[in-house]
Structure 1
Amino acid sequence: MTLGVTAVTFSHERQCATRFRAEAASAQWDLARIVDALEACCRVSRLRAHRLARGWTLAQALTELKGMCRSQNLDPGGVTDEQLRAWETGRRPRDRVITILCQLYETDRPGLGLARSTSVAVAARPGEPAPGRRGTRSEESLDELAESMRIAVDRTLADTTVSTTQLDQLEERLAALRVSYMVTPPTDMLVLLLSDLGEVRMLAASRQPAATQVRLSEMTAVLSTLIADALMKLGRIQQSQRWYGTARAAADDSGNAELRARVRAQAAMLPYYYGPLDLASRLAREARYLSSRRPTETAAFAAAAEARALARQRDHEGALTAIRHAQDVFDRCQHGAAVEDAWAFPRRRLLLYFSGTYTYLGMTTMARRVQQEALGLYPDQSGIDPALLRLEAAMCLAHERSLSEACDLAVDAYLRVPAAHRTKILGARAGDVLAILPVSQRTARPARQLGEILALPPGTM
């Protein structure tokens, strides 16, 4: 029975070693990372983990050891593979042999799990030797442990898997994705975003210097936010909600207050369109508080998002106060040169949020004014924002009981969008036109025609 258990154990160790070496090749792990993984997974000694990490059998390890000793004129004594096995399973080698094993496995004594044990820091008063040891011997052990630890820490700090150039290239690709996001259908965009996020995640999974980890967390937050937004457009509400949660966690991990605010302002869109509305206003308010120290586009974005959420909650005074604050901050802040960027907040997006606010407050004259100005700022190819503005113009007509004009404009706005962009969020907004109409008008021919078009699968017209 013992032999059977041992055979199974060795098989498990070899399988894990093979698996971890394969993962190391794709994730650019160093040997120390494989050793750590084997020690944790298989509960083997670090000495044994070092051999398994290299894929050596006991016989191969012995051959490597003797070859190294011959080339360096070292005397390992009469070492056998059985002695190697005994050392790996608990018997301590002589100090001279430990030094040779450190050279063989290119590490130090703590790295092999063979550092001298010391209790200097335990039960010893300042200036007194540790119990059971002479003072000089304890100081030597402490110095050795401290130096070994310093070397290990230096190695960890130097052991990164990503260069500044790689980070710069990733950020350049992310900038290009943010531009593509404006015109690329969400289904196609998800493939691109998920691919780049996979690369960022792989790099972030390894230990990186603090500055590098911050940049990776920032990229993770932006990519996750865009993924959540694409899923929201497709009507995948629960998935979008989870991805917004991931984006917020990544932004919080970065420590970047501006990014934390931006992600929350973006996340407020999901409950704004699909509910609950109190969550939309709360997220926007959190974003406004996080960005309140100086006037930025994000601060204006947060206030505008809060304004239109409050408008849907029929908080007339609160919504208008938020609009005034958003306009004031937007007028005072510096604006980036990029407009065709999913992460930008230019004037046309500010006006889009004002349109939603005025529309739900029933202030149709103000709504039409900002809708016309905003539409003049959008190019022909610019995603679904112009369609949303036209649908809000149709809602204004519905508020005014202009049945035919409201439904005709909604049909035109909906069908004008290319089929690949005609997602569920657009259909939901067109459906809001019908919801505004009095019940008595919803069975009229224009309303029925709009309802029939919205009931068709996207791309059939």
Structure 2
Amino acid sequence: MDDLPHHLLADPAFIRALRERDFTKVFAMAHEAGISFNRIAEACALKSERVSQIARGTTSVTALATVERIAGGLRIPGALLGLAAQPWEDTAALSTESHHGDDPMKRRNLLRGALAAGLTAPALAALTAARTDVDQTLSPDAPQDLADLEAAAESYGYGYHGQQPTRVLADLVSDFAGLRPLLAVPQPAPVRARLCRTTGQMAGMTAIVLHDLGSRRESRAWFATASRAAAESGDDHLHAWVLAREAMVPLNYGAPKAAADLAERARHSAGDRPTAAAVLAAAVAARAYALNHQPEQARAALTAADALMDRLPAGERSDTWLTYGEQKHHVHLSHAFTTLGDTRRARESQLRALELSAPTSTMTRTLLLIDGATCAHHDGDSEEACRRTVAALTGLPGDYRTGLVRRRALDLYEAIPAQHHHERAVRELRDVLAA
């Protein structure tokens, strides 16, 4: 096959697609330039059907051997694909990256010779090699897809907004899958760090939804992925956030000691600075200690959480999954004080959290109502506690009566002594939970 048209190798969009190994765009632009999929397939030793699928974006190219076949078949200079110079390249010696010790005059003469015939493919490759050598030392441009995915991660951070958790989960995982092509190709270190940070955020938020839906095993698996991505990103704040959110899985599903261990790891990672992750870790630790019948440790963690919250910068106080607002703080305090039996302070936090909760915060408001019902049980009115919990559960759409909400209601039912289980209100709660 002849060389690619000169205008393609001078097109910034085509060059970007090559650098990102986005062969969907490479094949599509080549096709638009008049090269048929059959010619591309023949030149690259690929099936025509696969070339067509790649161009449509229904399959991708990840194998290095395939990338090298495409480079050779379409006469794409190796430097544009992050490969070594191809055997057919006459101007490979012009790469300053490969020949740091060469005489500058020799490079100049080689470049003049390559350009003597005009802007041919070898000449353009030489120009690109020289520019790439310098460009790689500058702050790199990130792929446009990364900016889009970072914006998507930010928008998911605002929570459910009245949407069903399963719908949010489907959208999250769909966008999360879009990170794979970017992670699969070499990236400059700053871009790789941003990619890993976004991966950690989106994996962590996926884990949150799975936790809320009651899928503990899957939630922990996604948190493990989030933790690996956060560690690779070098963002200690994100790593602490992931550990603190992961601690809420054993916290809410009957393993408070494991939750306390994770929360303490998160506190260590967060350090003493007043960050959203640091406050969250302290608040989760307080809840875990309360559930583990360690009231002194719980109250010490609550004091630390309040002190950090007082110093938290305004930029980290918004109401998202990735930050830590006043409403979220009172949600955690509500559960901690309820578990400790401090019903006065628990009710204060419940009222404040409900005041700050948006009407669309269906799950959060229900959990606060169940905390309030549990306070009634602590104060000796188990019948009223059951009635209020039944009302909270039956007022929910069916998709919300699972996972965390059901677990919190079940905790209340199991806290009621067995001799009262025959009473009507207790039986009604049991029946709603069974349904």
TM-score bucket (shorter structure):
0.7 to 0.9
Verify: 1:377 aligned to 2:377, yes or no.
no
Verify: 1:207 aligned to 2:186, yes or no.
yes
Contact 1:288 1:303 in 2 (8 A): yes
Give the deviation of 1:237 after TM superposition: 1.4
Verify: 1:37 aligned to 2:65, yes or no.
yes
1:79-118 deviation digits (Å, cap 9, x = unpaired): xxxxxxxxxxxxxxxxxxxxxxxxx663589534699xxx
Q: Which residue of 1 aligns with 2:300?
A: 321
- Structure 2: how far apart are the matches of 1:324 and 1:316? 12
| Runs of at least 5 residues in structure 1 that lack an aligned partner in the other structure | 1-10, 40-45, 55-103, 116-139, 457-461
- Structure 2: how far apart are the matches of 1:28 and 1:185? 30
AA in 2 matched with 1:111: A
Q: Which residue of 1 aligns with 2:35?
A: none
Contact 2:72 2:86 in 1 (8 A): no
Verify: 1:389 aligned to 2:368, yes or no.
yes
Q: Which residue of 2 aligns with 1:223?
A: 202
- Structure 1: how far apart are the matches of 2:305 and 2:229? 26
Which of the pair has more CA radius of gyration?
A: 1
Higher alpha-carbon deviation: 289-298 or 14-23? 14-23
- Structure 2: how far apart are the matches of 1:25 and 1:271? 44
Contact 2:77 2:86 in 1 (8 A): no
Question: Counterparts in 2 of 1:444-455, with a 5 A limit?
Answer: 444-455=423-434
Verify: 1:232 aligned to 2:206, yes or no.
no
AA in 1 matched with 2:85: G
Q: Which residue of 1 aligns with 2:290?
A: 311
Higher alpha-carbon deviation: 316-325 or 232-241? 232-241
Higher alpha-carbon deviation: 250-259 or 353-362? 353-362
1:258-313 deviation digits (Å, cap 9, x = unpaired): 11111111111101011422221111111111112411222111100100001000
Residues 1:255 and 1:105: Cα distance change in structure 2 (over 3 Å): closer
Give the deviation of 1:340 after TM superposition: 4.1
* Aligned alpha-carbon RMSD (Å): 3.8
- Structure 1: how far apart are the matches of 2:270 and 2:239? 9
Verify: 1:356 aligned to 2:327, yes or no.
no
DSSP-derived class of the 2:362 partner = coil
Verify: 1:193 aligned to 2:136, yes or no.
no
Give the deviation of 1:28 after TM superposition: 11
- Structure 2: how far apart are the matches of 1:194 and 1:171? 14
Contact 1:335 1:346 in 2 (8 A): no
- Structure 2: how far apart are the matches of 1:23 and 1:232? 36
AA in 1 matched with 2:292: Q
- Structure 2: how far apart are the matches of 1:17 and 1:208? 30
Higher alpha-carbon deviation: 401-410 or 176-185? 176-185
Q: Which residue of 1 aligns with 2:402?
A: 423
Give the deviation of 1:256 after TM superposition: 0.5
Q: Which residue of 1 aligns with 2:245?
A: 266
Q: Which residue of 1 aligns with 2:77?
A: 106
Verify: 1:335 aligned to 2:363, yes or no.
no
AA in 2 matched with 1:289: H
Higher alpha-carbon deviation: 445-454 or 420-429? 420-429
Verify: 1:252 aligned to 2:231, yes or no.
yes
AA in 1 matched with 2:390: V
Contact 1:28 1:161 in 2 (8 A): no
Contact 2:140 2:188 in 1 (8 A): no
Verify: 1:179 aligned to 2:207, yes or no.
no
DSSP-derived class of the 1:271 partner = helix
- Structure 2: how far apart are the matches of 1:373 and 1:114? 71
- Structure 2: how far apart are the matches of 1:197 and 1:336? 26
- Structure 2: how far apart are the matches of 1:261 and 1:51? 43
Contact 1:181 1:342 in 2 (8 A): no
AA in 1 matched with 2:398: A
1:18-44 deviation digits (Å, cap 9, x = unpaired): 8589558749989xx76x3249xxxxx
Give the deviation of 1:318 after TM superposition: 0.2
AA in 1 matched with 2:367: L
Q: Which residue of 2 aligns with 1:433?
A: 412
Contact 2:204 2:226 in 1 (8 A): yes
- Structure 2: how far apart are the matches of 1:334 and 1:238? 34
Contact 2:250 2:256 in 1 (8 A): yes
- Structure 2: how far apart are the matches of 1:384 and 1:409? 15
Contact 2:259 2:288 in 1 (8 A): yes
DSSP-derived class of the 1:111 partner = coil
Give the deviation of 1:201 after TM superposition: 2.2
Verify: 1:412 aligned to 2:391, yes or no.
yes
Contact 2:239 2:266 in 1 (8 A): yes
Contact 1:184 1:383 in 2 (8 A): no
Higher alpha-carbon deviation: 266-275 or 362-371? 362-371
AA in 1 matched with 2:65: A
Q: Which residue of 2 aligns with 1:94?
A: none
- Structure 1: how far apart are the matches of 2:415 and 2:100? 80
Residues 1:113 and 1:17: Cα distance change in structure 2 (over 3 Å): farther
- Structure 2: how far apart are the matches of 1:341 and 1:264? 17
Question: Counterparts in 2 of 1:87-102, with a 5 A limit?
Answer: none
AA in 2 matched with 1:347: E
Residues 1:331 and 1:180: Cα distance change in structure 2 (over 3 Å): closer
- Structure 1: how far apart are the matches of 2:432 and 2:350? 24
1:2-24 deviation digits (Å, cap 9, x = unpaired): xxxxxxxxx9x946898589558
Higher alpha-carbon deviation: 18-27 or 337-346? 18-27
- Structure 2: how far apart are the matches of 1:283 and 1:16? 51
- Structure 2: how far apart are the matches of 1:227 and 1:272? 18
TM-score, scaled relative to structure 1: 0.69
Q: Which residue of 1 aligns with 2:346?
A: 367
Contact 2:71 2:78 in 1 (8 A): no
DSSP-derived class of the 2:237 partner = helix
Percentage identity across paired residues of the two chains = 29
TM-score, scaled relative to structure 2: 0.73
- Structure 1: how far apart are the matches of 2:376 and 2:100? 84
Contact 1:27 1:202 in 2 (8 A): no
- Structure 2: how far apart are the matches of 1:166 and 1:409? 48
1:300-355 deviation digits (Å, cap 9, x = unpaired): 11100100001000011000000000000100121337744222211111111111
